[in-house]
Structure 1
Amino acid sequence: MTTTSSAVPWWPQLRLREPAVAPRARLLVFPHSGAGPNTLFPVVGSLPEHVEVLGLSLPGRERRFGEPPGCRLGQVLDSVSDEVLGRAPLPTVVFGHSLGALLAVRAARLLGPHCRAAVVSGQVPGRTPRRAHGTTTEEDAVRLLRDGGGTPEWVLHDPDMLGHVTRVLRADIELSREAAVGFEDVRLDVPLHALGGTADPLVPHEPLDGWAAHTSGSCSVRRFDGDHFFLLADEHRPTVVDVLRRALAES
């Protein structure tokens, strides 16, 4: 058993104010490498008030900026056991982008009957090679940031912040490598929704149909005209939100 001790929760609420109604469903948000869950708030912030939205906060970013980056898969799963399964039970949907997709599927298995659907974005299934896993140096990490997009220009030109971001990114890539071991054998039994960008320079969209092999339930695949962060683009965000709403309705 690993430890998830931290002065700051791993699973904070992403809504800034208390909802006016009691939660009837739960969404777990797993962000991409190098990022915190608030990066995906533009996608999840407009969901109905009865949906409790919790976001995975890993060391080294947002609320945990002062902590050294890096954790193991076991710690992530322990945080789900401690902080999510320890809450009042609710029908739950997992939603992960890039690294987050691998973690979300792993967590879905741990949640068992509490998990009713999974939404994975910007990630390939099975044994498909992952470009990020070839990142070994700081120069590789900076190149990955530039090619993937989504990183503010000021960060790329601030040596101190860029150094911090690349340390976080490289730690997350190690976590991604661990989460990918044996992933081809991971199976769910809930509806699965797979999303990808047709111009993603980091993740090819052609293998997306292979996500069907990761569940005995239904699998829908949707491709968007966009890069690795297609889901945050103004023209695609409403459709992604609709996918999340449909997944929550399945719960």
Structure 2
Amino acid sequence: MATKTKSRWFVGVPHEGLKECALYAFPHAGAGVTTVRQLCVELSDTFDAFAVRLPGRESRLGDPVETVMPELADKLAAELLHHAEGRPVVLYGHCAGSTIAFEVARRLGPARVRALVVSSHPAPGSVRREPTWELPRADFLQQVVKDGYLPSQLLANEELLDIVEPALRADYELLETYELELYEGGGTEPVPVPTVAVHGHDDHTVDPTQVGAWSALTTGPFRFVSLPGDHDLPSSRPADLAAAIREALAAVA
């Protein structure tokens, strides 16, 4: 492993040596590290790459879930500062993970964050969506499928749904309450770090203009990247996404 510091929040890609910069990848709602692991592998030649594991999933299935954004972002920022061992970091978030990465970037600031990269998610506060996290199971999970977080064929697997639903509901509560507050409050202050926003050509869950609206949430350089692929870029196009991230970071550096 490329750091001597261990944390239950982060899972790295083993390799030799210590890179100058560390990258932390935040997966989509309800997901664990497996959904961003291949992207971390693709980026491990450039960064010490780590997937973020939130409570309530995978090896942390028994840990209490997080549903309040400021509390979660505070914990992640503190953990990440310790884990990165003083190095600059790049924060990457996919879909709902983009908003969590944004709030962590706000707390760490430009002294620590070299860049923020987001994919497949509207800029926080730019779109209103009614809360769905309290809906009955069938209605809630249909929304999850619509949002691209869960394959529709899994809806018949009650045993699996019993495992994944609590983390999904927690993440929806976390994001929906936070983003609705921003929308009704007129938005949020931008972060002073370079930002890259990525959209897949065939992603029908979010409009490219909504992804491009991240430009209003940074006072640093901004770059919008459009890639072949659908909503789930880290899993379906990890090599293409990794190449785009490297190129875009070089451009905004």
> In the TM superposition, what whole-angstrom CA distance separates every residue of 1:158-192 from its partner, at most 9, and x where no partner exists?
21211332222111011112442337223122221
1:214 to 1:150, Cα distance in 2 relative to 1, 3 A: closer
- Aligned pair partner of 1:23 in 15, 19, 26: 19
Q: Which amino acid aligns with 1:222?
A: V
Q: Which amino acid aligns with 1:215?
A: T
Partner of 2:77: 81
Q: Determine helix, strand or coil for the equivalent of 1:13.
A: strand
What is the alpha-carbon distance in structure 2 between the residues aligned to residue 136 and residue 204 of structure 1? 26
- Aligned pair partner of 2:189 in 186, 189, 192: 186
1:95 counterpart = 2:92:
yes
Q: Determine helix, strand or coil for the equivalent of 1:185.
A: coil
CA contact (8 A) 1:20 1:49 kept: no
- Aligned pair partner of 2:113 in 103, 112, 115: 115
CA contact (8 A) 2:191 2:219 kept: yes
Q: CA deviation at 1:206?
A: 2.5
Partner of 1:59: 55
Q: TM-score, normalised by structure 2?
A: 0.82
What is the alpha-carbon distance in structure 1 between the residues aligned to residue 96 and residue 122 of structure 2? 10
Partner of 1:220: 223
CA contact (8 A) 2:67 2:170 kept: yes
What is the alpha-carbon distance in structure 2 between the residues aligned to residue 117 and residue 23 of structure 1? 16
What is the alpha-carbon distance in structure 2 between the residues aligned to residue 132 and residue 242 of structure 1? 35
What is the alpha-carbon distance in structure 1 between the residues aligned to residue 124 and residue 151 of structure 2? 31
Q: CA deviation at 1:153?
A: 6.5
Partner of 1:12: 10
1:213 to 1:50, Cα distance in 2 relative to 1, 3 A: closer
Q: CA deviation at 1:218?
A: 1.6
What is the alpha-carbon distance in structure 2 between the residues aligned to residue 47 and residue 225 of structure 1? 19
> In the TM superposition, what whole-angstrom CA distance separates every residue of 1:131-170 from its partner, at most 9, and x where no partner exists?
5844531223211333344645674332121133222211
- Of stretches 180-189 and 165-174 in structure 1, the one that deviates more from structure 2 is 180-189
Q: Which amino acid aligns with 1:82?
A: A
Partner of 1:4: none
Question: For structure 2, which runs of at least 5 residues remain unmatched after alignment?
Answer: 1-5
Q: Which amino acid aligns with 1:103?
A: I
Question: For structure 1, which runs of at least 5 residues remain unmatched after alignment?
Answer: 1-7
1:152 to 1:65, Cα distance in 2 relative to 1, 3 A: farther
CA RMSD of aligned residues (A): 2.6
Q: CA deviation at 1:30?
A: 1.0
Partner of 1:124: 122
1:231 to 1:57, Cα distance in 2 relative to 1, 3 A: closer
Partner of 2:213: 210
1:90 to 1:168, Cα distance in 2 relative to 1, 3 A: same
> In the TM superposition, what whole-angstrom CA distance separates every residue of 1:19-39 from its partner, at most 9, and x where no partner exists?
211231111111110101221
1:197 counterpart = 2:200:
yes
Aligned residues, how many? 240
Partner of 2:44: 48
What is the alpha-carbon distance in structure 2 between the residues aligned to residue 143 and residue 153 of structure 1? 8
Q: TM-score, normalised by structure 1?
A: 0.83
